[in-house]
Amino acid sequence: MSDLVRYEVKDRVAVITVDNPPVNALAPAVWALIDQAVARGVADANADAMVLIGAGTTFIAGADIKVFDTLKTRDDSMARSAGTHALLRRLEDAAKPLVSAIHGNALGGGLEVAQACHFRIATKDAKVGQPEVMLGIIPGAGGTQRLLRLCGVKMALEMCTDGKPVSAAKALAAGIIDQIVDGDLLAGAIAFAKTKTQAHEIRKTRDLPIKPEDVSGGVAACEAMRAALAKTARGASAPFAAVNAIQAALTLPFDAGSVRERELFAECVVSSESQALRHMFFAERDVAKVPDIPKDTPTREIKRAAVVGAGTMGGGIAMTYANAGIPVLLKEIDDAALQRGLATIRKNYEVTMSKGKMTAEQFEKTMALITPTTSYGGFDQVDIVVEAVFENMDLKKATFAELGKVTRPDCVLASNSSTLDVDEFARASGRPSKVLGHHFFSPANVMKLLEIVRGRETAKDVIATSLKLSKKLNKVGVVVGNCFGFVANRMLAYYMREAYLLLEEGASVPQIDQVLTDFGLPVGPYGMQDIAGIDVGARIRQYLTSIGKTRAEGPQSAIPDRVFELGRYGQKTGAGWYKYDAPGSRNRTPDPLIDRMAEEEAAKRGIKRRPIADEEILARIMTALANEGARVLEEGYATRAGDIDVIYCYGFGFPRHRGGPMFYAETVGLATVLARVKEYRARFGDYWEPAPLLERLVAGNKSSFEG
Ligand code: 3H9
């Protein structure tokens, strides 16, 4: 038998070991070999029972996700799933007891294989789950039909719609597994299997009766879940398909329910939602792979940190370190500023506590990790400093010059600048190899993205250390190059340019925001600015004007500066692009003043305002993002298109089921995107310039940014 699935007999029990590192994914060969091994076990006169176990750190973590790309049509999927369902039925029909022994994870198809076994046992730290919805699909190997026969409809609905794995203890209590093994899993599994042989006990999950409470209340539970999902699913359709499949299990015999599951799975697997989510699955893992930084690049452990600046960002960054259990010095210029920063941190944690997500004890422990200071005392003890002072080049350079003196020569010096040149700080510090950008997103303690900005001289071990650290900080670290605004904000300038121009041309602030939230973003461009602070963008524009630059070529709308000059900084001042009930309130209403400004600015530029269709708003904004993204990619500031997608999904809440701006452009069609750039150039001016990479890809008939 192949190395992917091994067969041996121990103590009259056939042990079938799946060995397909790293996660024992069910590649087509693995499915087939499990099938063959079980048939061999049944025929083997030396075996009275069988155990299915995973080699390495886990049981089976699911079907091989890459294989779904080969299912181009619904019919492809129906044909393949017929085989899979029949295979699992053969396992279930095995004439000798078959026990799955779970450690690590039994996920997706892995849990479905286990459900088709007669019994399941697990280590106490094992987890089981049906995470398919995260990939835009539903369990497709009988999971929606068998799971509820084990654990009941309520839990099956939860597991199949939220995709979160559950602990072995919870699985045992619910009846998904039969025993938790203390000590050696294989020995425990063999012992368990032998008890079942003696009793000649074979239990087929598909023959288990639906629980009486589910016969009476199951369909209502499905209805309730649909109503809940309507509020939370944000445009995703797979969770609804999972509910439909579970309802089929309640209302149809097993075989007919299974056919319904296969049909629903087939619709999901070819959907753009699933393609986008699968793309995101691999893109998120690829960001950790930086071509010239090998996996074995030495890293240093970050045991102590310091943050300079206790403003909104600095405070959030200090919280991020403390949340990860890393002691952090928090420095401010004077005690008053320090106390303000600490008060905000405390208030944030109190909100977390009021939601029941933190205990008073955890609060005390976490706060104790943050040491406030107004001096550089103790900076010679830290492994990293994150600079989060005001976004001003001279101030930042002076800070780095100071940090170069007060820290150890091997200390990493990171800047949280959102736009400025990291190489300038590096030079100012006197040891450029240790300097880079750590660009957190607001609120820093919440948003998962960390842009790791590589300077000209940043050492490889400093990048590798940052990537490892980002995981410890519960962030997704993406390495980007050092251009103005890096990747996230450089592209955002084009997104905002279009939002401003559309306003001048005749769209309204609420209309533009609505188009983007309907698309799936948590907030539109104007709502986002009101949250982040209109003053932040205005100060960056002022700095750029002072050095003779603009953020995005094209007409520069005067409206944002007019709003800024009125002191309308957004939610914090009670007015920005919208009016708010009070400073700090989120209750907003549109403001006719903004429409009047738009009319005035349009008149100045000789623009005749017109109604603008929602489709044009979306197309212009998304085309601007993708075209600039293509430029970023070609210039090497992002390693892959997928890195840009990860940045947008984690930094700005771009809907995962659209796959990020670059993947979305691929689903629209690169030729269509290029045609739109050319159309806008003809309509609006030469500042709409096709990215050379986009032109080359379209000329070469390519459908993907990866060529
Ligand atoms: C399914 O089963 C559908 C069924 O209903 C059947 C229908 C017929 N396939 O995450 P890591 C790779 S759908 C292919 O860094 P960790 C991953 O890309 C599936 N590859 O490790 C990475 O590769 P690389 C349902 C996979 O320890 C490497 O393994 N199952 C798969 O942080 C290590 O991964 C899921 O959705 C896969 N299924 O976390 C579970 N899984 O090194 C998906 C992983 O080249 N997997 N890889 O970058 C996970 O959630 C995590 O990988 C897991 C381990 C928790 C298991």
In angstroms, the Cα distances linking 283 to 278, 641, 656, 693 are: 9, 9, 11, 20
Instruction: Please choose from 18, 20, 23, 113 the residue to mutate so as to test ligand 1's pocket, defined by most ligand atoms within 8 A of CB.
Output: 23
Average confidence (pLDDT) over 120-142: 98
User: Which pair of structure tokens corresponds to residue 665?
Assistant: 């452009």
One DSSP character per residue, 109-146 reads HHHHHHHHSSEEEEETT-EEE-GGGGGT----SSHHHH
User: Which pair of structure tokens corresponds to residue 675?
Assistant: 């045609």
Which CATH code, of 3.40.50.720, 3.40.50.360, 1.10.3720.10, 3.90.550.10, is assigned to 305-487?
A: 3.40.50.720
651, 441 contact by CB (below 8 A): yes
Amino acid 540: pLDDT = 82
Rounded to the nearest angstrom, the distance between the alpha carbon of 8 and the centre of ligand 1 is 27
User: Which of 92, 112, 261, 505 is an active site residue?
Assistant: 112
Q: Does the annotation mark 457 as catalytic?
A: no
The backbone torsions φ and ψ at residue 98, rounded to the nearest 5 degrees and listed phi first, read -125, 120
- pLDDT over threshold 70, residue 22: yes
CATH topology agreement for domains 5-270 and 305-487: no
- pLDDT over threshold 60, residue 607: yes
Q: Residue ranges of the alpha helices (H) in 117-184? A: 143-151, 153-162, 168-174
> What is the tens place of the pLDDT at every residue in 89-99?
999 999 999 99
- pLDDT over threshold 90, residue 307: yes
User: Which pair of structure tokens corresponds to residue 635?
Assistant: 């210039």
Amino acid 2: pLDDT = 64
Atom 19 of ligand 1 has which residue's CA nearest to it? 62
**CA count, 13 A, side-chain hemisphere, 64:** 16
- pLDDT over threshold 70, residue 600: yes
Name residue 169's beta-bridge partners.
Answer: none
> What is the tens place of the pLDDT at every residue in 393-435?
899 999 999 999 999 999 999 999 988 899 999 999 999 999 9
- pLDDT over threshold 80, residue 193: yes
Q: Does the annotation mark 402 as catalytic?
A: no
Domain ranges of the chain: 5-270, 305-487, 489-636+669-699
Strands 166-167 and 119-123: unpaired
Rounded to the nearest angstrom, the distance between the alpha carbon of 614 and the centre of ligand 1 is 38
Amino acid 654: pLDDT = 95
Residues with CB under 6 A from ligand 1: 22-23, 25, 61-66, 84, 105, 107-109, 112, 131-132, 135, 139-141, 143, 282, 285
**Fold type of domain 5-270:** 2-enoyl-CoA Hydratase; Chain A, domain 1 (3.90.226)
What atom in ligand 1 is closest to the CA of residue 105?
A: 56
Rounded to the nearest angstrom, the distance between the alpha carbon of 687 and the centre of ligand 1 is 43
Average confidence (pLDDT) over 316-324: 98
Rounded to the nearest angstrom, the distance between the alpha carbon of 282 and the centre of ligand 1 is 9
In three-state secondary structure terms, 305 is strand
Q: What one-character DSSP code corresponds to residue 553?
A: S
Q: How many CB atoms lie within 10 A of CB 365?
A: 13
200 pLDDT band, cuts 50/70/90, is: low
- pLDDT over threshold 80, residue 609: yes
- So what CATH class is 489-636+669-699? mainly alpha
Amino acid 550: pLDDT = 74
Rounded to the nearest angstrom, the distance between the alpha carbon of 448 and the centre of ligand 1 is 20
Atom 30 of ligand 1 has which residue's CA nearest to it? 62
In three-state secondary structure terms, 285 is helix
> What is the tens place of the pLDDT at every residue in 479-531?
999 998 999 999 999 999 999 999 999 999 999 999 999 999 999 999 999 99
Q: What one-character DSSP code corresponds to residue 475?
A: -
Name residue 105's beta-bridge partners.
Answer: 127
The pLDDT mean for the chain works out to 95
CA-wise closest residue to 175 among 120, 138, 229: 120
One DSSP character per residue, 420-462 reads S-HHHHHHHHT-GGGEEEEEE-SSTTT--EEEEEE-TT--HHH
**Peptide bond just before 22 cis, omega within 30 deg:** yes
In angstroms, the Cα distances linking 524 to 502, 594, 621 are: 13, 16, 11
